[in-house]
Chain A
């Protein structure tokens, strides 16, 4: 009996000391604030293993909600992934770290300069491009008869109730501008905006809704036949449903960089630099692209991705389509023009 008691005590003590030991050495933690479904779990695990650290991933569904949360004072994030126009605004307000390029040699070595023209931060002073996201049309080839790569598809009455546009003023107005033949998706000229509003209102009579959330899952499940969405998201849906395709309409479209940026108040800046550098390692970058299906502007990694993906024109965007895409920019005070236009699009 005494023996039993003693051994019980020993077991309890051993357990305690184990718990104490594991508590003693706390791993460094990197907090990343990222889009949902935008980074390979395996890549994260590899980085954790290599640097003996822990990554905590928080997700957002739009630049606006991410910005609103950070602006409201949410701290503790080290690395964020804003689109260019949001990063520009965050930098204006001194929220982002000025990058020390000596800590990210892979970026300087491998960044593909042909993408520089799309960036509002050409020197990569405060952002490093992570993915390029083209806005276009995702559609179900088995359900849409006689498909043509044009925004006019959203006027087709035979698809009524089975199409969606993004719930994003800039994307919808930008594409409406392109659809009526105006090159500049950032135009704040009232006459041009009025025409774009009229165009978007025609689309509105045929679509099911303005929505971003899981329109892509809905495309794969056959709920929607035709959606305005981002290239990589549609490709992810195509992995589930082989009938799903992506095109950039012939009138042209919008394109955005989603970038890494380090928060000024980050407590783990070195780890954040290491992470950016890690993602720009060719084989890691390729592995990440294979899962997420967006293109990283990387010179060599694109050659390492799986052939099937590489040969897909929705991944390796043809030069002609590429040239037709214009980046959205933050218009500061003039943003209200788009917001007012959006109110008019949404009203009856």
Chain B
């Protein structure tokens, strides 16, 4: 016993060191910087201050935070809503060849640089482009409507970008799901949809949670997409952080904003995971009581 925990310690050491050096340490620096004063040359001043935190009560922030929040939630919801049926169908596909082909098609976009794909969207939604002309021709939109540079363009490109991130973890769990359970449910009189809802969805809930995290966190931090396809009023927190670093040369303020963003992501996640643990415990208790 003693020996095995000793080996475990050494086996775990590299990843622990990795986490501390490249994850915990940088986060700590960001948090600490939020309490240092800036100097006007883009450096860090001496001493400690709470001024930066007070500056977070900037009247322009609530609107930006709200926009970041709802765009992140909507794009996550849409990504999950699209990814679940895809994963369901994919894991039920009996032909291995077809399954691999579809998986490949989902992964293929990753072979092209992210930036180039955003620029492809800009060409696709271009006001003089074929798609726009088609929409005008069939009378869906008037000539003066722009498809680019508004928050709908930002949302569309965000959803497009994150869908593969949602499909892969859900599919990974769904593939291991025992579909005979659904057949059993149907044998006992459940409708297909009821079985999907009551048997399949809880069975893949772990994959869904992973997908939510993998999509929500980068969506909250999105910076390039609103910058390139967004308009004059589609700034997100990510853009503000970039502005604080590059234009304002105020690293402490950027750090405070980043910390706020981190808190905004972590606190709900911790709450949710506590809630789940609590639920599981209760469930087990209930089973035990039976």
Contacts and interface: CB of A to CB of B under 8 A. Distances in A.
Interface in A299-348: 332-333, 335-336, 339, 342-344, 346-348
A62 B246 contact: yes
B41 to A, nearest CB: 6
Contacts of A335: 40, 248-249
A269 interface: no
A348 B233 contact: yes
A68 B245 contact: yes
Contact of B128 (A161, A208, A223, A346): A223
Contacts of B148: 208
Contact of A64 (B127, B128, B144, B246): B246
Contact of A347 (B59, B231, B249): B59
Nearest to B245: A68
Interface string B254-289: 000000000000000000000000000000000000
Interface in B224-253: 227-228, 230-233, 235, 243, 245-250
A161 B42 contact: no
B249 to A, nearest CB: 7
A223 B245 CA distance: 30
A89 B41 contact: yes
A68 B247 CA distance: 9
B42 A209 contact: no
Contact of B127 (A89, A204, A223, A344): A223
Interface residues of B, number: 30
A209 B231 contact: yes
A67 B146 contact: no
Interface in B194-242: 227-228, 230-233, 235
Nearest to B145: A161
A117 interface: no
B256 to A, nearest CB: 14
Contacts of B235: 346
B249 A346 contact: no
A240 interface: no
A65 B246 contact: yes
Given A161-B149, A332-B40, A347-B59, A204 B128 contact: no
B26 interface: no
Nearest to A210: B232
Nearest to A330: B40
Interface string A162-196: 10000011000000000000000000000000000
Contact of B232 (A168, A204, A343): A204
Contact of A343 (B42, B60, B231): B60
B42 A92 contact: no
A68 B246 contact: yes
A67 B144 CA distance: 40
A339 B248 contact: yes
A183 to B, nearest CB: 24
A223 B40 contact: no
Contacts of A161: 127, 144, 146, 149
B239 to A, nearest CB: 9
A342 B41 contact: no
A347 B64 CA distance: 8
A169 B250 CA distance: 15
B85 interface: no
B242 to A, nearest CB: 9
B144 A342 contact: no
A209 B41 contact: no
B41 A92 contact: yes
A222 B232 contact: no
A92 B43 CA distance: 13
A137 interface: no
A339 B247 contact: yes
B232 A207 contact: yes
B60 A346 contact: yes
Interface string A46-83: 00000000000000001011011001000000000000
A221 interface: yes
B141 to A, nearest CB: 12
Contacts of B146: 161-162, 208
Interface string B146-160: 101100000000000
A64 B247 contact: yes
Given A213-B228, A223-B126, A343 B246 contact: no
B63 interface: yes
A168 B247 CA distance: 8
A145 interface: no
Contact of B42 (A71, A160, A348): A71
A89 B144 CA distance: 44
A342 B128 contact: no
B112 interface: no
Contacts of B248: 335-336, 339
| 3 pairs of A and B residues whose beta carbons are closest in the complex | A347-B60, A64-B246, A161-B146
9 contacts: A64-B247, A67-B249, A168-B247, A204-B233, A221-B128, A335-B40, A335-B248, A336-B40, A346-B232
Given A339-B247, A343-B58, A346-B235, 15 more contacts: A68-B246, A71-B41, A160-B144, A161-B127, A162-B146, A208-B149, A211-B227, A222-B127, A335-B40, A335-B248, A336-B40, A339-B248, A344-B60, A347-B60, A348-B63
Interface of A: 62, 64-65, 67-68, 71, 89, 92-93, 160-162, 168-169, 204, 207-211, 213, 221-223, 332-333, 335-336, 339, 342-344, 346-348
